[in-house]
Every structure is written in structure tokens, then in C-alpha cells.
Structure 1
Amino acid sequence: MNADTATSGVSERRVLRIAVPSPLRRLFDYRPPTDHSGPINPGCRVRVSFGRREVIGVLVEQIPEALSDCPADKLKPALEVLDTVPVLDPALFSLVSWAAGYYQHPLGDALHQALPVLLRQGQADRFQHQTLWRASSRADLSALPANAHRQQAVLALLIEHPQGISTDALRAEGGDPKLLRTLEAKGMAEAIEQIPRLPHADSQDQVLLEAPLTLNDEQAAVVDRLSDTTGFTSVLMEGVTGSGKTEVYLQAIQQVLERGQQALVLVPEIGLTPQTVARFKARFKVPVLALHSGLTDRQRLDAWLWAREGSARILIGTRSAVFTPLKHPGIIIVDEEHDGSFKQQDGFRYHARDLAVYRAHQLDIPILLGSATPSLESLNNALSGRFEHLRLTRRAGKAQPPRFELLDIRQQALDAGLSTPLLARIRQHLQQGTQVLLFLNRRGFSPALVCHDCGTPVDCTRCDARMTLHRQPPHLHCHHCDRQTPIPMRCAHCGSDQLRPAGSGTERIEDRLQVHFTDTPIHRVDRDSTQRKQALENIMAKVHRGDPCILVGTQMLAKGHHFPKVTLVAILDADAGLFSADFRGMEKTAQLILQVAGRAGRADHPGEVLLQTMQADHPMLNTLVNAGYEPFAREELRLRKGGHLPPFSNHALIRAEANRQGLAENFLLSVREWGQQYLPEQAQCVGPFPALMEKRAGLFRAQLLIQAGARKPLHQALALLVNLMQEHPEARRVRWTLDVDPIDSY
């Protein structure tokens, strides 16, 4: 062999560069498996030895052996190639890769999180096959012995079901499944594998089960704009609550279905998914599937596969559904786009709304963002021309917007947070035969248990927080670290037995309402009262009967629910977010108030909204209730711009936590001191400073803010800082995370 041939032979040897689920921000090189001879494409899963364990990685690329950072004799062979066809198609692989880069997250872990759990575990990317039995071509009842009555009965059943019958169905009809193998041995029965099919999966001509509603001119303008679109466009639909946003979604999707395409609909919370799915199934004669954490791993994988093969025409899911493969993508819809639930708050900290916009651009399809209270980021994108801004200003049908009233409770005696004027107004509405909704975003009986003698509250020993008192069942519960303890008999500080609840939660409000309205059903809706399966559905069924009742609950009641008979909505503590340390506090408060208020007067009954407040003169609160959300949002944007805050600057938070006070801050301080020598001029570090709740779950937390006027210098800064923190000598004693575009400062 001459030198040129030898060189050519070496250059042809390839190395697999694999993304492994780990916190390490790098790829790992392996030789192909010794027993594998076929092609291996990017996006295929590969089982590899990683340290002392075996993991499932994803092939990113193949490179010549000479380009590997690892010496050839040190390269391990991969153990197994699990796929012949990539589980992540090129578009989805590109989306996850871009997201990992943007959010500065390890690619291996990002790819891992984008896959259904069973695929992460190495199971085959195929449907759960069902084994059916049928009679073979050699089946002959007369060939069986005359006394083999049970075999004859089973074979007769197989002959009656030429398409096949499951063992459960066979047993239900009186047959003995144990005899199937006997018949198989005689050549008279055979097992077949059946892939489950979705009903109406092949329906093309008729996609509707019920006729669409008549649109008003504003709704029609949105649908027409989307139907005129041949490629990517991003539309922000700002519609007051009750304006018929869902009907716009349905009719926009109808046009997509008639073209043979698929629709992906993102909703913020799992609680909204069942009612949304029911509404879509009632309208369309096509497969409508849900994707959310309430499904089993098998159900999620099957739905994912049906979407990939194109059988599932409408996909409705929470934030992780943004990574669902689509064979024929037609439109993406993000409902309640402002909702913070679209931001993943641990691990891979992506924002599903922003990824949905990127994905729509990547697929060259339209995206529709809907909300009654758009996020200031989306509103600013609309005002600057990046998004098209369409408005729905009128409620659907004859429904009128509710009337707002600020109820000044200064110097008023309150009964567990209920003022006398509010109780009178509740009684008035109930006497009219309608329903009332009371909103308080604090679950439990009381947010604190306080000693009446010395004033010391019962605090959580693991957090800088007070323990919440619950009465059903009686216990103290920290809602930050989930610590639960029995209710103490005496104060740990002074020994007094005068421990009393301070403040009100939903349980206490429910108790007091039962005293004031003894003959009226009271339904509490919070995380505690809806833990049991079907609990929320059962409560909603009672409310939808229309009988007078009182609903009291947390933000679980704030969005998506339609209560035709609710005519009074009362927000018991409208001041809760007015003075938040988080610069987004006022925006979140306004959104929550208007979302809750939107439950009132949604049908023929006029509605009113009462806000109990001790800040009746607050300018932003008055702007919100008197002028509406958009004037409020424009003023808030003006203030943000003056303060160089998002969306007029770009933020990232480096959070660190350690088991000793000061360690996390010192770690971030050294990161800042090093970083300031190398960071781009347009980027700057602010902090470090303790988190708003410094101690949580036994760990002391601090954070460092990185901000820049543009995204490029911010990401340049983050790339430098991430490399530093990975190599920092204190990194083993401190756990750190990076949050790009954070929505919470905690």
C-alpha cells in the first residue's frame, strides 16, 4: 500500500460526535459500534458508555478521526445505534440546537428534554402494537377432534373476526385465550401485530362536525389576515375577555385542516387542556390530541408519533408541546401568550412562546398569539412592527364588559378579609339568582400563625418564609419547600398558648362565607381542593348548572373558564402586587386582575367587578380599571424604557446556591470581578445580591444580573462567564444556573 492510499484510508475513518445528557457543555466523540455497518444520521439516538453508566445520546455529526480532540486509541466504541431514521427531523433538531445556544444550555440535555420519556430511556420509536389473533388460511373446524369443543369454540370466534380479535375480546365472548397457542401449533390460528389507528385520521373532505359561529367584523379580520398568509407572519391578537378568541382559533384552524395541514395549539396550564380539547373535538371531525404532563409516558409517545406521521391533525399541549414533530405544519397558536407558565423555571429554561415564534419562522407558517392582556414584550414587538397587532374590542354576542369599582377598605372592619359592603353586594347578586366569584391568590386557612403575646410568627426552618396554616387537614405547610409539620400548641419563643391565625387564605374565606350564607353552596377551587382526580371537573359541573352559588379560589379560576351565570367578581386583595420588588410585579398584577375580572358578565347577565383596596388613589390601578389594559401597558412601557428595563434591554440571571450563607455571594462576586476584565463594553454585571428569599429549602441563594442593550453582547458575555464558572474552583461547593430572559426575580 502506498502512502497516498494509507492516508486516504485513515481519512475515511469517521468518529461519531454525540450530545450526551449531562451538565457538561460539550460533545463527546465515539467510534461507531463494532457490529454496525449501515449509515448513522444526525438526530439518531445512540447508546454509549459514559463514565460508569450507560446513557442515551443523540448523534450531532460525524467527523474525520483526525479532527477528534481525543486520541484514536482512547476512543470508545458506541454500544448501539437505536434508530435507522432520526427521531428528530432536521427542522426539530435545528430548533432544539438553536434553543440550547440561545438559552446557554448543554445541547445534550436540551435534546434529551425535547424527547418523550420512553425515547430518552432507549425504547423504540414506534407505537405500542396490539397483538390480535385470526384464523389462518388452513383453518378448518371439521379437522378438529369431535370432542375438542373448546378449541372449536375459539376457532369459530376467530373465523367470525377475519380482521383479528384481541385476547381480552376473545375472553369476553367466552373463549379461552390459552387455546390460541394450541390452534397456532396446528396451523389454524395466527397472531398479527396491529398498529392503533386514530378515528377519522384519513378524513380530508369533511373536517367539521358542527357549523362555525358567525364572526363579527373584528374576528373576521383576524381570520382573513391569516388565510391571506402564504408564509411566516406573527400576529398578536389582543382581545378583551369574552371577545371570542377561541372561535377565531377554531376558524383559522379550519382553513389549515382543509389544506391537509396540522395545527399546534399551546395553552399555559394542564387545567385548561381538557376543556380546550373538548371544544375542539366538538367542532372538528379530525383527530385532536392532547400533550401534557398528566398523560402516561406511553400516551405521550403515541401522541408524539401520531403527530410525526401526520395522523394527529390538531395538537393541544402545554409548553413542552412546542417540541412536537409535525409532518404537515400549517399554523401555531399560543393562547394566553402572556402567561408565565410558558417559561420553564428549572433545568432547560426555555420560553415556549418565544420558541414557538422561532419555530413558525423556521417552518415558514403563521403564528397567532392571543391574550386579553398581552405581555409587554409582545406588545412592544407589535408597536415596533415586528408583530402584526389586531384587536378584538367587543365581547361576543350580546355580552357587555363588566363595570369596575374600587372598594376603599381603609378604616373598615374586615371579617377575615371580607368587608361589609362586599358581603351586602354578594347577597344582592345571590338574591337575583346569579353566581359570585371571589378571588384570593393565597391558599390555606391563613398565611401565618402568630403568637398573640410576643408577636412571633411560626417560620419555616428551611426557608425565609412563614408557615401557612391549613385546617383541612390541620397542619402547617411551607409552600416554598413543601415542609409540613403539626400545629404547635405553644409559641417556641415565649411559651404562650395564644397562637392565632393572621390574615386569610381561601380556606378561611370559605369558612366565613358558610357562616354568612348558610343556604348557598360554596365551592373552593385551589390546588388543595382539586388534588383528587376529576375534582375540578366535578366542581365545574355543579357551577355550570346555573344555580346560585359562590366560587372562591386562586388563580386556577383566572383563565379559560366560562361561567355564564357569574355576575359579580370580587378581588379581595387588589394591592397584593402593587409594591413588588420585581419590576414585572405591576404588569403581573394588572394581568391577573383583568383575567379574573373577565369571568364576570360573559353571557346575557351584566357583570360587575369589585376590587377591595387600601390604595384607591393609586394612579396605575386607576388607569387600569378606568381606561383599560392598553393605556396601562403603554404607560408601563414608558417607565420601563426610562429605566432601561426589558423589553428595552436584555437580561440574564446567574443564580447560585450553597448550604452556607455567603458562599453563593462570594462565588458570584469572583465571577463578576473576573468577568469585568473581559466582558464586551455594552454588557455589564449588577450584583451579586441575595435572592428575594435568600434561604429556601435549606440553601442560601444569591444572584448576579447580566444586562446589555442588545442580544449579541449579552450572549458574548454569557459564553465567557459560563466557561469561567465551569472551571471555577468553588463550583463544586456551589450550584449555579443560568436563566436567559428571566421572568421572575426570586
Structure 2
Amino acid sequence: MSLFVRVALDHPLPTLFDYRYDLAPTPLPGMLVRIPFGRRDAVGMICEVTDRSDVPLDKLRDVAAICSTLAPLAAEWRALTLFAAEYYQRGLGEVALPALPQVLRDASRWAKLLAPEERYRLMPEGRASLPDALPARATALRRLAEALAASPTLPAADARALHPKARATLDEWQMRGWVSLETGDVAEQDIALAPQIEKAALHASDALLPQLSAEQADAVDAIRGAQGFAAFLLHGVTGSGKTEVYLHALADLLSARPDAQALVLVPEINLTPQFEAAFRTRFAALPEGAIVTMHSGLAEGERARNWLAAHTGRARLVLGTRLAILASLPKLSLIVVDEEHDPAYKQQEGLRYSARDLAVYRAKELGIAVVLGSATPSLESWWQAEQGRYTKLTLTRRAVATAVLPSVRLIDLEEERQRGRASVEGLSGPLIAAMKTRLERGEQSLVFLNRRGYAPILSCDACGWVAGCPRCSAYVVLHKPERALRCHHCGWESRIPKSCPDCGNVDIAPMGRGTQRVEETLATAVPGARVLRIDADSTRRKGSAQALFSDVHAGEVDILVGTQMIAKGHDFQRVTLVGVLNADTALFSHDFRASERLFAQLMQVSGRAGRAGLPGEVMIQTRYARHALYHALARHDYVGFANSTLAERRDAHLPPFVYQAMLRAEGRTLEAALDFLGAAAAEFTGLAGAERVTVYDAVPLTIVKVFNVHRAQLLLECASRAVLQNALRAWQPALRSLKVKGVIRWNVEVDPLDI
């Protein structure tokens, strides 16, 4: 009997492709195959195995190879990718294939990646003999021996990273009977030992763990007692010990179920080192490879190995950024989303998914608990909790008994100007004085400005020329240390001109301030202070962010200057002062979410102060000191801010009370993009249910041109999620058939965050 397989490919067409199958072994859904596609070979995922095909036999092509050594992707994972494809209006292959490591999408690398892994185990003879057999100055050898002693087994790849001649050395130790070489997946051996090891390690040391407050204990008990699906919103003020709640919940799970897996999501890569360190310290008894990370900053091979550890069930704790929500985790039993409000959880390219929303959906389908933690929950999550769909867990006090929330002081810049009080390059006198006081006390200060570079504008006051990007409708940013003008949208860069290119005036000058300029100013305004800047420019090299944060924690920095990278998640023990610059611009944004983001950002950065028991203070420079947002912030009143903002959104018929989708078009000209959107809107009006959807006029994006591509958007809104989804699904064929000259690409985004 002939067999046929239906295969999903990473291709814009939302269809499966039929192929004839006559290989061994028997194909199963979820297996990867190499197939001919057009004039090239491609890797696809089997979605269905059947004995018939609607495609004529003479047009069918054969499967070239099958990845039989990789366990098939589970039905739960395939269902998750199918839901994401349908909800976010993409093809199944466009979701499933990019969710896999790059090396799995290259069939030529299957053999090497999936070959039986070699691992070394230290034998009792070696544990007794090795310490005395190593020369005193053999640092690399001692590192290798310590790594063997510290874990049940040591992967050969890790051994090579510790010692350049590890293979020859380990072969010699093997001949002496000090180590044994094991080939294959030893995860089952490690997991068999895990329950006894974990129960002893995780519970015998409870006396050494931080004492939980009553609120923390109640939260842990609620998570522990959850039966089936349960969504928890852990709303805790900054410094209230949300991480400790996560750790206790994870410890309960791992000690109760030896095969359970947990997924912990963080919004940014630079937050993973401190979480990973906490996990490895708390769960040191877990077998080697039981804690892995997943994020785009990992090398390709490391990311693939970590993905495989999760896929095989060997990894018990998976820590990652948004892409980890699509990891294959066959024994997933708990999901934690830290800083759940963060916009970084929404992918802005390709498949525009929300990792937080997929986390809730995945937990519901699996019947497990999901914990969403934040000091400033998103209004969508807060509304779900208010409606009783999520269980609210509240931490109202800081975890350290002597620590209190910092006081918030508004510095009215207009009042400072009227009174003739001097400022230094945008830094007010009271803020400079406060930083000098902290310096004298040996405490640290943090200055927050969410704008990198030296200055956002370089201009000529004689003729009005402003340096702009030739490829984008945006100004270029002055980067003084590199002596360059750089576009933050397309990457275009040039040298700083010596004179105005329009009138020849040599007195061209920077306008506005970025973190580089603030860093330069502080060096003279606060003499003797050790100033450190952390932003996307200073942390370009791999590992540089972790090294800079380590300097801050070690007390080698007096004043830390940075962007949103320093605003959340970091536990700075010595910071007692936070200064906020240039926050007012977000008050007048056209985006209705701007105030929510600003409040969350300011509350998060304010929470860096006073975490270790020392009195903390936040000083916000503003020209609108009477604004209600700042007064809610001064009271640390998230609840009041959230409820008032939700009332405004309800009156204005905005999310979460309506559902939105965005059609964006990119063209060689703005007219082409707008013409496409106009034609798309005309097609939409004829669809069933279209009368219940509001379609707004097509408009250019705020930054119209990026890299010589013009962009425009069309917003759709509906009070029913189901009606909107059905309409979008019916709209797709018409969109694919539209041909407008000059249009390069288009995409539909569901639940857009940036409008």
C-alpha cells in the first residue's frame, strides 16, 4: 500500500504539500523530512500520514529523507503552532519551522547534531586519586577535574571548552579507571536519580532559604494547590520578592514530580544571567543539563543543544525570552511569565505573536498553572483579573523587612527656570545635589533616560538644516564617542560634517540629550564620581552587559546612566537615588498605550531604589508636575491608575474592551502602499460579518520611510474577537490576490501594540 505524507513548509502559502513516502521507518506526524521543493531541497514537518492523495500521482514527488533519530514533535506542540498560525493569520509552516533551531532546518546537519552524545562520568577511583595526581599549577586540568566532580556526567563538548586537550587527557584518565565514557542519552539515568537528590536538597535546606512573608507564603500555597488550568496574576510592588515566589513554586513542582518541566519567561536577554544564577544556586542538585536557557543571543550550536534537552525531557527548567514559548516541552507542568506587562513579549517581525498570550493559551490546553508576575501588570491582564478569569495574588510590601518603597519627588522645571535656578546640560540643581550627597555616603545613584546616543538632532541655527537619514524619514542621532551620525532605524552611518552642508555655517550644534551626553555631563557635574553607561551601544559585544552589571553590583560604580535596559528586574542593593530625565514626551503621544507604558516604565525604574533597607528617593524632572500620572506614581498607586485608565478606555471603546487588527503595507512609494490598503479595504466590505467591524482610513506610519521603503497601515476594530477572526480569515484570499504595482510586502498583525 502506498503511503503519502502532508508536509508543512516555511512558505507564505497556508497549505500543506503532498509527497509520496517509500522510506523506512514508518512516518509519524511531527517528524521532520527533507523534500524537493521547486528547484531546491527544503525541510518540512509531517502533519498527516495517509494512504491517498488528491494530487495526481504523476505530479507527486518523493520524500528524500526522514529525521528518524529525533523524536516526533508532540501533538500538543503541533496544536500550539496550529493555533498560533490560525490566530495570527499565518501558514502553519511559517510558525512551526521557524520555531525550531536553525540546524534542524538544515538536513545536512542532522547526523552531526543528533549523533549519540559522548559524556564522561567520574568514577570513585578518580574522585579519590585525581586531586593528588594533578600538578599544582595545572589550572586547566583542575578546572576539568572540578567540572567532572561537580556533576553526574560531563558532556564532551563542555570538556573541550574547559581544556584544549581534553580528549587526550580524558582518554588517559579512562585507561587508569578514573573516568568512564558513556555514549547516548543518559537523561533517563539522571532522571531516575533526580527524585531522591532533589527531595533531600530542596527541602533539607529550607532553613537556609529566605523566610517567606505571609503574603509570599499565601501566593506559593495558591500556586501549589492549583488543580488543572489556573492563571495567576502575581501583582507585587517592586522588591516584594516575586522571584522567591517563583523559586518556591518551582521547587514544589520539581520535588513532587521527577519528570516535570517548567518554563520561565523573561522579557530581555540581559535579565537571563541573574535568573539563571538564582536557579543554578537553588537547584544545584538537579542533574547536568537540567537547567537550560533559550534566547537569540546564544550561539547556534548551544541553542540547538538546549532545545534538544527540552525536547527530550532532560531539561527540567527552561529559562528564555519570548521565543522559548514555542519550545518543545513534552512534560511541561508550570509556566512563569516575569514582567508580563513588557512590550518585548510581542514579536514585531515575521510571526507577530504575543508570548504572554500564548503562554496562557498553552497552559489552558495542557491544564496547568501559569503565573504572570509584575509590579505594573498590563491593563489587559489586570482586566482579566478584575473579571475573575485570573486569580489575583498580591504582594504589598517589600521582601526585606527594613526596605520601604522610595519617596517620589517631582522637580518642576518651569518653576526652577522662573526662580533662576541653574541647571547643567539638562540636569537640575536639586538632582545634582542629591547625587553628590549619595556619593559622600558611599551610595549609588541611577539616572534614567530612554534615549541613547549623544543627541537626537544635529542642526544648523543659521539656516535650519537638520541632519537626516537619506534612507529614512527620520533624523540621525549624534554618537560623539564614535564621531558618527547614525540612523537608529536602518543603520545608515556617516562622519560628522565640519560645517552645514546647506549654508556652510561651522557652528552646527547638537540639540537634545542622549545617554552619552548625560554621561559626559555627570563626569564634570559630580566630580570624583565613577560614572557608567549601560545601553544598546555599550553592550554590543556578547557578555558585555553581564560584565557591566557585575561592576554595578560589586560597588565599582557611583552613578549608573542608562535606558530601559536598567529599568526593570535588576536588584541593585546600593542604589538609593533614581533620577528620571525627559519623561514628558510620552504624555502627548498619539498612541493610546503611551501613558500605560510610561507609568510602568517609571514605576519599574523607581523600584530600583532602596531595595536593601536604605531609604530610597526618586526625582523626576518634568514640566507638567500637576499631571495625574505623576501624582499616581508618587503615591505608588498602580491600582488607582489602572482603574482610571480602564474607565477611559471603556468610554473610548479601546482595548481591552474591543479587539484590533492591523494591515500594514510597504511599497516603493507611499502612494503604492496607500493604494494597496484602499483596495484591501474595498475587498473587506463585501465579506460576511464585515458590517460589525470598523475599518479606519489608511494612514502613513509615524516614520513613513525606512530603508527607502514607504509604509502605511489600516486599522480594524471589533467588539467580538470571534467576528474579527472570522473576517480576517475570509479576507486572506483576497489580500493574496491583490496586485498593486510598487507594493513590496504586506502583513496582518492581530492585537497590535504599536499604532
Same fold, TM-score > 0.5, yes or no = yes
1:199, CA displacement in angstroms? 11
**Pairing partner for 2:378 from 375, 380, 385:** 375
In the TM superposition, residue 267 of structure 1 has moved relative to its aligned partner by: 0.6
1:520 aligns with 2:529: yes
1:65 maps to 2:18:
no
8 Å CA contact retained: 1:170, 1:176: no
CA distance in 2 between partners of 1:505 and 1:428 (Å): 24
One-letter code aligned to 1:65: R
Matched with 2:695 is: 685
Q: Which string of whole-angstrom CA distances, capped at 9 and with x for unpartnered residues, describes residues 336-387 of structure 1?
A: 0011111111111111111111111111111100000000110011111111
- Between structures 1 and 2, the one with greater helix share: 2
Cα deviations by residue, 1:601-624 (Å, 9 ceiling, x for unpaired): 001101011110011111233223
Matching residue's letter, 1:546: G
* Aligned partner of 1:451 among 452, 460, 475: 460
Structure 1 equivalent of residue 365 of structure 2: 362
- Do 1:308 and 1:324's aligned partners in 2 also have CA atoms closer than 8 Å? yes
**In structure 2, the residue corresponding to 1:422 is in which secondary structure?**
helix
Distance 2:170 2:679 in 1: 73
Letter of the 1:404 partner, please give it: V
The aligned runs of 1:106-117 (5 Å cut-off) are: 106-117=91-102
Name the SS for the 1:316 alignment partner. Answer: strand
Between the aligned partners of 1:608 and 1:171, the Cα distance in structure 2 is: 54
Task: Specify which of 6, 15, 24 is matched with residue 13 of structure 2.
Answer: 24
Structure 1 position 695 matched with structure 2 position 682 = no
What is the total number of aligned residue pairs between the two structures? 693
Query: Following the alignment from structure 1 to structure 2, what is the Cα–Cα distance between the partners of residues 165 and 417?
Result: 54
Q: 1:550 to 1:729 in 2, by over 3 A?
A: same
Match of 2:348, SS? Answer: coil
2:142 matched to which residue of 1? none
**Shift of the alpha carbon at 1:83?**
2.8
Shift of the 174–556 alpha-carbon distance from structure 1 to 2, 3 Å rule, reads closer
C-alpha separation in 1, matches of 2:732 and 2:739 = 13
- Structure-2 separation of matches of 1:224 and 1:666: 57
Q: Deviations over 1:688-742 (max 9, x none)?
A: 1111111111111000111111111111111122211111122773310111111
In structure 1, what is the equivalent of residue 31 of structure 2?
44
Name the CA distance, whole Å, in 1 between partners of 2:250 and 2:120.
40
Q: CA deviation at 1:171?
A: 5.4
Indicate yes or no: 2:383 matched with 1:394. Answer: no
- Helix, strand or coil at the partner of 2:305: helix
- Once the two structures are superposed, residues 478-534 of structure 1 have per-residue CA deviations (whole angstroms, 9 ceiling, x without a partner) of 111111111112222222111101011001001111012221100111111122333
Query: 1:7 matched to which residue of 2?
Result: none
Is 207-216 or 705-714 further displaced after alignment? 207-216
- 2:696 partner SS: strand
Amino acid corresponding to residue 697 of structure 1 in structure 2: F
Q: Are 1:579 and 2:602 counterparts?
A: no
Is residue 2:271 matched to residue 1:272? yes
Report the secondary structure of 2:611's partner residue.
Answer: coil
Q: How does 1:143-542 map to 2 (within 5 A)?
A: 193=183, 195=185, 202-207=193-198, 208=201, 210-211=205-206, 212-259=209-256, 260=258, 261-284=260-283, 285-286=285-286, 287-397=290-400, 398-410=402-414, 412=417, 413-542=422-551
CA distance in 2, matches of 1:100, 1:418: 49
Check whether the contact 2:672–2:741 (CA below 8 A) recurs between aligned residues. no
Aligned twin of 2:572: 563
Q: Alignment partner of 2:533: what SS?
A: strand
Deviation at 1:627, TM superposition (A): 5.2
Q: More deviation in 202-211 or 23-32?
A: 202-211
5+ unaligned residues in a row in structure 2: which ranges? 122-152
Distance 2:721 2:431 in 1: 49
What code does the residue aligned with 2:667 have?
Answer: A
Deviations 1:245-264 (A, max 9, x none): 00000001111001122211
C-alpha displacement of 1:117: 1.4
SS at match of 1:638: helix
1:152 aligns to what?
none
How far is the alpha carbon of 1:53 from its aligned partner?
1.1
Judged with a 3 Å threshold, the aligned counterparts in structure 2 of structure 1 residues 131 and 606 are, in CA distance, closer, same or farther, namely closer
SS at match of 2:686: helix
In the alignment, the residues of structure 1 paired with residue 682 and residue 47 of structure 2 have an alpha-carbon distance, to the nearest angstrom, of 35
Structure 1 residues not aligned, in runs of 5+:
1-11, 135-162, 184-189
Contact between 1:624 and 1:631, CA under 8 Å: does it hold in 2?
no
Following the alignment from structure 1 to structure 2, what is the Cα–Cα distance between the partners of residues 172 and 743? 50
**8 Å Cα contact 1:440/1:571 also seen in 2:** yes
**Secondary structure of the structure 2 residue equivalent to 1:425:** helix
Give CA-to-partner distance per residue, 1:519-552, whole Å, 9 cap, x none. 1100111111122333223322322233670011
Matched, 1:706 2:705: no
Give the whole-Å Cα distance in 2 for the aligned partners of 1:432 and 1:30. Answer: 73
In 1, Cα distance between equivalents of 2:443 and 2:487: 36
Question: What are the Cα deviations for residues 30-80 of structure 1, in whole angstroms up to 9, with x where unaligned?
Answer: 222x4x1542111111211111111101111134535x2x32321222222
Tell me, yes or no, if the aligned pair for 2:532 and 2:557 is still in contact at 8 Å: no
Q: Which residue of 2 aligns with 1:95?
A: 80
Query: Per-residue deviation at 1:560?
Result: 1.2
Which letter does structure 2 place at the counterpart of 1:712? A
Give the percent of matched residue pairs that are identical in Structure 1 and Structure 2: 40
Distance 2:186 2:533 in 1: 40
Structure 2 counterpart of 1:30, which letter? Y
Query: Which region of structure 1 is more displaced relative to structure 2, 497-506 or 120-129?
Result: 120-129
Residues 170, 177 of structure 1: 8 Å contact kept: no
Partner of 1:137: none
Distance 1:373 1:131, change over 3 A: closer
How many angstroms apart in 2 are the aligned matches of 1:479 and 1:457? 16
Q: How many angstroms apart in 1 are the aligned matches of 2:557 and 2:33?
A: 60
- The aligned residue for residue 544 of structure 1 is 553
Identify the match of residue 677 of structure 2 among 664, 668, 685: 668
Offset of 1:625 from its aligned partner?
A: 2.4
- Structure 2 length normalisation: TM-score? 0.87
Q: Is the 8 A contact 1:45 1:86 kept in 2?
A: no
Quick one: which of 66, 75, 81 aligns to 1:81? Answer: 66
What TM-score does the superposition give when structure 1 sets the normalisation length? 0.88
Contact 1:451 1:457 in 2 (8 A): yes
Q: Distance in 2 between matches of 1:175 and 1:84?
A: 30
